[in-house]
A and B are shown apart, each in its own frame.
Chain A
Amino acid sequence: MAKSITGEALQGPVTKEGHEVEPAGSSGRTELPDFEKIERSQGFKNLMRKKKLFLIPATALFLGLYLAFNIIISYTNWLDAPVVGDIPWVWVFAFGLFAMTWILVTVYMKQAAKFDKMAEETLKEFGYEEKEDIQ
């Protein structure tokens, strides 16, 4: 990426060899890794596969349930009947969507910890360490 960095006085970033990158405002050329090579690497491909395996079904699930709920309550009276005592189904399903949100967030947090580890390994493989680019 031969793009000049913004005018802000960054103290970082440092290339993988450990040379200071020229600060902002100068020519701003930085030595960058071959991103296409990283993209083609087994580690990165695995990471993307694992991510997709979780994110696509999870997104389809929550958007699907959410839309189904809205369509059902807008066009039908199916959920108006009481389920326990005088509480109608619609409240149970509404709370179910809340519970779904919290559950999916919790599950994702666990999955994401695995993604982090995979990402870290891929980055290490290409000689990159964190803290190098934190300003």
Chain B
Amino acid sequence: MNATVIIIFLVIVAMTLVITYYAAKRTNSASDFYTAGGGLTGWQNGMAIAGDYLSAASFLGIAGSIALFGFDGFLFSIGYLVAYLVVLFVVAEPLRNLGKYTLADMINARFDAKKVRGAAALSSITIVVFYMIAQLVGAGALIQLLFGIDYLWAVLLVGIMMTIYVLFGGMTATSWVQIIKAVLLMLGTVILSFLVLKNFNFNIMEMFTQMKTATPHGEAYLSPGVKYEIPLDTISLMLALVLGTAGLPHILMRFFTVRDAKTARSSVMWATWIVGIFYVMTIFLGFGAAAFVGADLITSTNPAGNMAAPLLAQALGGDILMSFISAVAFATILAVVAGLVLTGASAFAHDIYGQIIKKGKATERQQMLAARYASVGVSVFSILLAIFAQSLNVAFLVSLAFCIAASANLPVIVYTIFWKKFNTAGAVSAILTGLISALVLVSVSPSVLSPEAGAAILTGTPLFPLTNPAIVSIPLGFIGGFVGTLVSREIDAKKYAEVKVRANTGGFKQL
């Protein structure tokens, strides 16, 4: 670790702490804590969404995947981006119009029932925990690589930083950490892309021609099928990505930080541009790393390819650029985990404590205390899990989180907004069917069970053939909601009229 790394690293830490200090002064109510007072503008929230969404896995992982596997490494990015159309067309505006702090609020705008809220909170917490473990374990390993810090200390460092942001600065600090991260990430990616393109003489055609021979895969490098060989598995995973984003609680929560549906909509627009341009640039990063660093050096530094981008920075811009890119990766990690802590805390403190236990009658002080205790609780729990999961292969947990989001959350969201006959029993069964089927199927899938010792979490023969169960569990979530609704037959047309009017006009909010 050289002096430049330490300086850039400290600057980022200091900057985020200053933000947290000012944010803390403005965090005086539960609404400030969960939604930054609902006062973010469209572009601010758009940047924050991008900051929340583009994890270290996107930055280092996708660049590395493209470097090692060519087109297949890029494939996920298509799903991650197109997913925003589902967010924009189906979820963002009704969510903002009906909800307050959490996804459960939105569903409970129609069904005022504890069991619905409980089920929604349970699925949110499950998603957050899986996503968080994957992020923290990844972060520990990355920081170990980037800065030479031990895994344990790396996890603790990230864990303590995220706790400080959320505990003191709530959503205001989290949002600004995410915005700054988005700016740094885009800056780093633009610089690297520029250097790569310069080395290809700013000629895209020439870049592709060179890539045909630059890697051990030869021509196949530019075509699908290098990494993903089981067609149905790929399709299942791509389905999880495109439908899952619209059910990810930490992304959904961001829509409560703006004042109305119109601003929610424009924040999706900003996010789509930022996220999309970023993914296009990862192609240059990946190709550049494959051509100018080489697959051998990339895999010998880290078999998963996570060091491709920093190594590329080293090759094209020397130590200073590598230090900057490493620091960007660190900022990236912090922004994502902070958003996750806040989301987990909102499910515990607002949904379970505030609404279910206290029946919505908690005082402002009680709500704030609960939110803060929950933040610390979620952080400590995640840090412990991440420490125990160090040696496990948990990378699949991210796509599992997308799968649960698509199977447990999306059906209930769609039915709540669009289906007149949908009812309380249907809502509970939609969430639980999606959640349980995704969990059960993945626990007997090749992601968890592998005949080869150490390749997955457990050794054994997988009973379900696909690594991602989305193609089965998403339809099951929809069927669960449908059957549950028909079985109970309860119907409240009046309430649906209200939800429909409020969701589509933005009027009569939160009465």
Contact = CB atoms under 8 A, between A and B. Distances in A.
Given A36-B494, A70-B238, A97-B78, A130 B231 contact: no
A101 B85 contact: yes
B301 interface: no
A21 B511 contact: yes
B440 interface: no
Q: What 8 A-B pairs come out closest when comparing CB atoms? A: A74-B231, A119-B505, A35-B498, A35-B497, A85-B205, A6-B360, A39-B497, A73-B224
B259 interface: yes
Contacts of B366: 7
B159 to A, nearest CB: 30
A71 B235 contact: yes
A74 B224 CA distance: 7
Interface in A88-126: 88, 90-91, 94-95, 97-98, 100-102, 104-106, 108-109, 112, 116, 119-120, 122-123
B209 interface: yes
A62 B493 contact: no
Contacts of A84: 205
A13 B510 CA distance: 8
A5 to B, nearest CB: 7
Interface residues of A, number: 70
Contacts of A7: 354, 358, 360-364, 366-367
A66 B82 contact: yes
B112 A3 contact: yes
B501 A102 contact: no
A86 interface: yes
A53 interface: no
Contact of B89 (A12, A32, A48, A55): A55
A10 B242 CA distance: 37
B31 interface: yes
| Interface-central residue, A3, A80, A101, by most chain B CB under 10 Å | A101
A6 B100 contact: yes
Contacts of A112: 93, 262, 265
Contacts of A67: 235, 239
Nearest to B74: A94
Q: Of residues A75, A87, A100, which shows the largest number of chain B Cβ atoms within 10 Å of its Cβ?
A: A87
22 contacts: A6-B354, A7-B366, A8-B30, A10-B510, A12-B510, A21-B511, A39-B501, A58-B85, A74-B235, A75-B231, A85-B205, A86-B205, A86-B222, A87-B204, A90-B222, A91-B208, A95-B280, A101-B272, A105-B269, A112-B93, A123-B505, A133-B508
Given A7-B358, A98-B81, A47 B505 contact: yes
Residue in B90, B506, B507 with the greatest tally of chain A CB atoms within 10 Å: B507
Interface residues of B, number: 76
Contacts of A74: 224, 228, 231-232, 234-235
B78 A94 contact: yes
A1 to B, nearest CB: 6
A97 B272 CA distance: 12
Interface in B308-364: 354-355, 358, 360-364
A122 B140 CA distance: 54
A134 B100 contact: no
A58 B89 contact: yes
A63 B85 CA distance: 9
A32 B361 contact: no
Given A74-B234, A87-B205, A105-B269, A133 B510 contact: yes
Interface in A25-40: 25, 30, 32-33, 35-36, 38-39
B74 A109 contact: no
Nearest to B259: A134
A99 to B, nearest CB: 9
B504 interface: yes
Nearest to B210: A86
Contacts of B81: 97-98, 101
A6 B99 CA distance: 12
Contacts of A66: 78-79, 82, 238, 242
A59 interface: yes
A92 to B, nearest CB: 11
Contact of B208 (A9, A13, A85, A130): A85
Nearest to B229: A74
Nearest to A109: B269
Contacts of A4: 360
B276 interface: yes
Contact of B85 (A85, A90, A104, A135): A104
Contacts of B90: 59
Contact of B355 (A6, A85, A119, A133): A6
A25 B361 contact: yes
Given A70-B238, A90-B71, A35 B272 contact: no
Given A10-B510, A74-B224, A119-B507, A105 B31 contact: no
B131 to A, nearest CB: 23
A47 B232 CA distance: 40
B378 interface: no
Contacts of A30: 511
Nearest to A61: B85
A90 B224 contact: yes
Nearest to B108: A3
Contacts of B209: 85-86
Contacts of A134: 259, 509
B199 interface: no
Contacts of A85: 205, 208-209
B510 A5 contact: yes
Given A1-B498, A87-B205, A87-B208, A101 B276 contact: yes
B277 to A, nearest CB: 9
